[in-house]
Amino acid sequence: MTHPSYHRCRAVATWLAAGLLALGGAAQAAPTARHADPLRLQYERERADCMTGKTSQPRNACLREASAAYGQARQGRLISPGDRPEQWAANALKRCQAQPAEDREMCERLVREGQVDGSVAAGGQMKTLTVRTTDIPKAPGN
């Protein structure tokens, strides 16, 4: 005859093994960050912002817009035809034309040669251009 605590220990061990197998299966079913769909991740971030009230929109409108944007992005229709880096540079050069003549050349150099720091996600990009010159500055009034 077996002891009753033996059956209890065996039942606990069986349940523990079943739980571990279930957790292992769930871990395999979950997508890893390496294989995650970036469009889906963006949608999940936008949805979380809607749910926590981080947007200025009503929750229903925010969720509807996030879902629509995700659908459009999956179909490749979210980017407008003029939304390309080449078009951005062309637009920046056009804006240089509005500068005074003495600043226009430097503006165009900044567009073509400037170094970009920062990101849109971090709050903005800054473009800088370092220019070295051997000119001696003139004294004021001369």
Model pLDDT, residue 60: 92
Q: Say what the pLDDT of residue 132 is.
A: 85
pLDDT for position 137: 74
Placement of tokens 């469009």 in the chain:
39
- Token pair for 43: 């949608």
What does the pLDDT read at residue 2? 54
CA-based nearest residue to 129, from 107, 100, 97: 107
Q: What pTM was estimated for this model as a whole?
A: 0.37
Contacts of 67 (CB under 8 A, 6+ apart): 43, 47
Q: What confidence score (pLDDT) does residue 4 get?
A: 56
Per-residue pLDDT of the chain (142 residues; tens, 9 = 90+): 555 555 565 655 565 555 555 655 555 555 555 567 788 888 999 999 999 988 888 999 999 999 998 888 888 777 666 667 778 888 999 999 999 998 999 999 999 998 888 776 677 778 888 888 887 777 776 6
Cα separation of 81 and 120, whole Å?
20
Encoded tokens for 117: 């720091």
Neighbouring CB atoms inside 10 A of 74's CB total 13
Whether the Cβ atoms of residue 84 and residue 96 lie closer than 8 Å to each other: no
Strand, helix or coil at 23?
helix
Q: What is the pLDDT of residue 93?
A: 93
